Amino acid sequence: MKTLPVSFVLAGISSSLVLMGGVNPVRAAVLIGNLPETNDNDFTQITTVRVKALAFTLPAGNNYSLDNVILRLGNYGSGDAPLVQIRNDVGGSDPGSTVLASFTNPTPQGLGIFNYTFTPTGPLTFAAVTKYWLYVANAVESFDWRGSSPNKTPTGIATPSGAQVSNNSGASFNNSSTLNSFQINATEITGPVASTPEPGAIAALSLFGLGLLGVKGRRNEG
């Protein structure tokens, strides 16, 4: 019987160490949202001066990385230029002015009502126990951000924390009674990929590997 190569045994030990350390899974989730909609009987018209902002707060626990944002829009045409952002919170009832994430606009599908997925232009980590704002404006013309009637309360990892509308390009805001249809998708950040095993486990596996080499060597001699 042939002796196992040393490199083969050592590779097996390394693999065992990684497995013992454990791999933390990543979990995609709905951070917050109220899709699918009940109906499209309510809406906010987003224009060059009218802005809508929805607030949400993350619970204690892990952070989340932003995947995308889905908005249910009507009358979104090629002449529109949506401005979708995630903004900070500065206390009070209005969104902050710091843009934490911007998005690439999807291609319009015509004047009907569709779900549109907005892809972030860069990474964003949502921190636990922190409030954020989904901020929706339009640089050109107008489109409708649809909503269910009666309102459908957003659910998910985060909790809704207010809805505001501006009629002067975000210079000031008022409370809004419309909870527009949307969804923010994110991936849970659970920590490092693998942890380091205890020194005792390393020693035991090393001795086990050396023992395998010895047994194979003795069998070869016979």
Burial (CB count within 10 angstroms: exposed 0-12, middle 13-18, buried 19+), residue 148: buried
Which of the following CATH numbers is that of domain 27-189: 1.20.58, 2.60.40, 2.40.10, 2.60.120?
2.60.120
Residue spans per domain, the chain: 6-23+197-213, 27-189
Place of tokens 């693998």: 194
What end-to-end distance do the CA atoms of the chain give, in Å?
9
pLDDT tens sequence for the chain (222 residues): 445 454 433 344 444 433 344 445 568 999 999 999 999 999 999 999 999 999 999 999 999 999 999 999 999 999 999 999 999 999 999 999 999 999 999 999 988 999 999 999 999 999 999 999 999 999 999 999 999 999 999 999 999 999 999 999 999 999 999 999 999 999 999 865 434 444 554 444 444 444 444 444 444 444
pTM summary value: 0.77
β-sheet bridge partners, residue 54: 134, 163
